[in-house]
Structure 1
Amino acid sequence: MGRKSIADIRRVEFATAAFEVLSIHGMKGTTLQRVADHTGASKASVLHYFSNKQILIETALRQANATLRKEAVALMNLASTPWEKFYGILEANFSPTTFRPEVAHGWISMCAEVPHNPQFQRLQTVIYRRLHSNLVTALKETGMTPAEAERGANVVSLLIDGIWMRCGLQIGGLNREDAFAHIEGVLNNLFGDLTERHSAKTKMSALANALTLNAAKP
């Protein structure tokens, strides 16, 4: 794999800064100047790579989602059973690297703009469809009927969104452990208290923690 160009590195740097500024100031308060100040660069430098705020924010959101997608793919590749694939998806959606209030703030800011912004609407539609498709596929492989898998995927995706919203609003200090406790309570009612499901959760949780630790190494 070749080295990234300086231009690619700068784009990633500015996109990362844009998401951080978005998390702090919201959509209205996010400006090219603030993004520049956040990185110690000039506004002209940001404009050299991104012609306007719209393109920069969209790139930032795609980059944030790519991090989640990369973790989901890595975990699903390590899964050997349908329930392990299912929990690989959940672990990626609540990864310690992404399930944090500051990241959730940025996501909430973007969601508030979705009804008014066709680009954000398309991006969010792609994200939802991918999540739904992955969940349905994993649940079908457990032996559920298509209707059962659809119902289960819908409930789980709604639960994921609700927990992320709660995290972003910081109501009640919801953390990753609390999130999974709520999810397990719903899953027990939805799918039954299955030993194989709990075994899959334990395995994928350990793998997710290992991936996080490896990613944090210099």
Structure 2
Amino acid sequence: MPKVGMEPVRRKALIDAAIAAIGERGSLDVTMSEIAGRAGVSAALAHHYFGAKDELLQETMRHILRELGRDVAAALHGVTEPRARLTALIAVNFAHNQFSAGTIAAWLAFYVEAQRSEPMRRLLRIYARRLHSNLMDALCQLLIAEEARQTAEGVAALIDGLYIRCALRSAAPDAVNAIALVEDYLDHKLSRRRN
């Protein structure tokens, strides 16, 4: 008989195990048995909670997006000045819990999976729209509309690109340099407007 109240704990353990397995393997080529073993549960229980592996992977992506959304909300809470909001957005994308080796590998694997999976593609579109919206909210207060749009696209491309480059290297993620690179681009775009 299952223990009452254990389902959320086990589901979270399976999601964390999926991120770790994907991070270690560098792809979605992991089995439910492998993920379940890492989580300390049986493969049958993993299937009970999530059904197929694709459903677990989609829930893992949702989990990563929810965590990022919570982190963004916390970082922006009480920050009203547009440039400070942009700095907070950039920093949160490279925070330790977001820019860790396992999470970076999971993001890359999800990007690849989105090429064949409409549910994954939809989740990545949600992420992209949220990032764009948050950037535009601040940038529209600093730049004219077209410049704001181009700058938002540039910042988003740098963030995504830095994740991809990090996933393809064997070195540990370097958040300090990643933030500095994005901030430098943003400063350049904003200074051109002031001149």
**Alignment match, 2:80:** 80
Q: How many residues align?
A: 190
Q: Deviations over 1:29-77 (max 9, x none)?
A: 2111001110121111111101110100000111112111111001111
Q: What CA deviation, in whole Å up to 9, does each residue of 1:121-144 have, x standing for no partner? A: 0000110011001101111123x2
Residue 173 (structure 1) shift: 5.3
Task: Check the 8 A contact 2:86/2:135 in 1, yes or no.
Answer: yes
Q: Secondary structure in 2 aligned to 1:116?
A: coil
> Structure 1: which 5+ runs fail to align?
195-218
Aligned twin of 2:164: 165
Range moving further from structure 2, 93-102 or 53-62: 93-102
Please report the TM-score for the alignment, with normalisation by the length of structure 1.
Answer: 0.81
Kindly report structure 1 stretches of 4+ aligned residues shifted beyond 3 Å: 171-174
In terms of mean alpha carbon deviation, does 184-193 or 86-95 score higher?
Answer: 184-193
What amino acid maps onto 2:20 in structure 1?
Answer: E
**What does 1:15-164 correspond to in 2, within 5 Å?**
15-142=15-142, 144-164=143-163
Amino acid at match of 1:37: G
Q: Which amino acid aligns with 2:95?
A: S
The AA in structure 2 aligned to 1:158 is: A
* Whole-angstrom distance in 1 between the partners of 2:63 and 2:172: 26
Q: Secondary structure at the match of 1:35?
A: helix
| 1:98–1:10 Cα change, 3 Å | same
Letter aligned with residue 39 of structure 1: A
Counterparts in 2 of 1:102 and 1:28: CA distance versus 1, 3 Å: closer
Q: Report % sequence identity.
A: 26
- C-alpha change, 1:168 and 1:106, in structure 2 (3 Å) is same
Q: 1:102·1:168 contact (CA, 8 Å) conserved in 2?
A: no
The Cα of 1:174 is off from its aligned counterpart by: 5.0
- More helix by proportion, 1 or 2? 1
Give the Cα–Cα distance (whole angstroms) in 2 for the partners of residues 98 and 172 of structure 1.
Answer: 16
Q: Quickly say closer, same or farther: Cα 1:8–1:87, change in 2 above 3 A.
A: same
Mark the CA change 1:170 to 1:26 in structure 2 (over 3 Å): closer, same or farther: closer
Q: What's the TM-score, normalizing by structure 2?
A: 0.90
User: Counterpart in 1 of 2:181?
Assistant: 182
Aligned residue for 1:78, secondary structure, equals coil
**Structure 1 residue 182: deviation in Å?**
1.3
CA contact (8 A) 2:166 2:173 kept: yes
8 Å Cα contact 1:136-1:153 kept in structure 2:
yes
RMSD: 2.0
Output the amino acid matched with 1:136: M
Counterpart-to-counterpart distance in 1, 2:35 and 2:171: 31
Change (3 A) 1:139 1:31: same
Structure-2 change in CA distance of 1:73 and 1:166 (3 Å)? same
Q: Contact 1:19/1:60 (CA < 8 Å) preserved in 2?
A: yes
Q: Which amino acid aligns with 1:169?
A: L
How many Å separate the matches in 1 of 2:192 and 2:150? Answer: 18
